[in-house]
Structure 1
Amino acid sequence: MHTTLIDASTLSQHLTDPHWVILDCRHDLMNAAWGRDVFAAGHIQNAQFAGIDDDLSGAKQGADGQFRGRHPLPERAKLIETLRAWGINDDSQVVAYDAHGGMYAARLWWLLRWIGHSAVAVLDGGLSAWQAQGLPLVTPVASRPQGQIAERPTLTRTVSVDEVVANLASGQQTVVDARANDRFRGENETIDPVGGHIPGARNRFFKDNLQADGRFKNAEQLKQDFAPLFASPETAIMQCGSGVTACHNLLALEVAGLHGAALYPGSWSEWCASPTRPIATGA
């Protein structure tokens, strides 16, 4: 069972294994159609497309009328329906990949853990690692029978915006922001019209989890990188722009053997939507 990362060679040996489900999570924040278009042009054999906006996120507005962020979590029952439509069962090994260092595949990895499924891994190095080994892409789309995956006790932890607000006073937990440094400082108005970060947050750009070749650093390197950021992973809250790339930091923590950090799903897009919540800028 693969629960964090999987290499291209291992995946290539299981392309026709009925117990394995492969999902393509490619996405472009500036062009919502791009992921599906490039999937149609070529993907790993037997992969299915998993859309960040349509499949891996929920309604932006909650039942109370409040804005929940740009990519809020899907309703759990709806997520289960989606996973079953992809043919996922309780004994399925799921593999997610993208072409962005795992920034979107990690969201699918986290969501499966959220509903209690541990046999899910991200293709280390993504599509680049696959093609670097001369492995092919195909255009036929896989068709699988309906799956029967059931929800089990969660393997993750989340915090609400109210809990993050309360933490401003208590300071018991450390918020770690996965956005690029310029966005964290409030200097990229193209992506973040309201710039800055949650007061007291630390910055850990998700790409810092990767080596030059796009694969993850080893466990010891990651453990050393995260050590200065918080006292223990149980006291850490991972966030980003909209709760997607924060999952990359959560995956890196699991690779490092640092378990127990929480995700703030609404992240910056939810936080900055209310003028009542404070904003810090600069380093």
Structure 2
Amino acid sequence: MSAILALLATGLRLAMPILIAALGETFAESAGVLNIGLEGMLTLGAFAGYVVAEHTHSVVVALLAAIPTGLLGAELLGWFVIRARASQLVVGVLFNALATGVAAYLYRLDCPPGVTLATLTLPKTDALGLTLPFYALLLLVPLAEIALRRSRVGLNLRAAGEAPQAAATAGLDVERLRMWGLRLSCLAGALGGAYLVVCQIGLFRESVVAGQGFAALAMVIFGRWRPIAVAACAVLFGCLDALQFVIQLDAARMPPQLFLALPYLVSALAISGLFGRARQPAALGVPWRREQRD
């Protein structure tokens, strides 16, 4: 296998958790909800996936554990940011802290420290070492593109994020649409966290997510809220993450933190406007009130 092909394969593997989370966040932001709590959802999904995998020794069941985890998180976040119309930024930051604390506490109660999921076997499907779960989840990219850009449901979601007043006048339930967008974001975040632990790392710790939720938020902006472009940006992030391992080997005297920051530095430059200004959904982060219809 050539060095470039190996780098791409590693980048694809590293990109998958961010890719999944970013796809879900694209739906939420298109509907007008900025889910800052995505980092916390990844953490909760990682913990749920780890615990279920430890007890069932099943990759499929562990990944499915992300569904109730994401739905519970979405209901909590939705009550504050959609129904109570609290600040999406403040609620998201608090949720991240709460999720980290809850996951760490439950982990100490249920799991012995340092236990890995070595008993799990992931079938390799090709010479690149990419697994069957990887290809199954990769199908989410075209499905998300069709659902958001080509379907009536996607059109309604984007209407709730672009012009909620006009959408409500046309008879759409803006709050319900935004809630569904938030649910998809939380489900994808929990699934990304579960995939990270079950299919990649094999263990859980408090810092296992390591900012990947925030990186997913950046990928949505970099990809201009289009699922295929968002997925491509996530793969680029993964390849940069893989590249920093190669660079560290060739520059052993350099501080490793410098290379660890490389993919995040590129993400910051991407959303800074260096490559052109991104036009976000007009009502992104703006609370919607039912009485606005009158």
Same fold (TM over 0.5): no
Greater fraction of residues in helix: 2
Higher strand share: 1
Higher alpha-carbon Rg: 2
Which TM-score applies when normalising by structure 1? Answer: 0.28
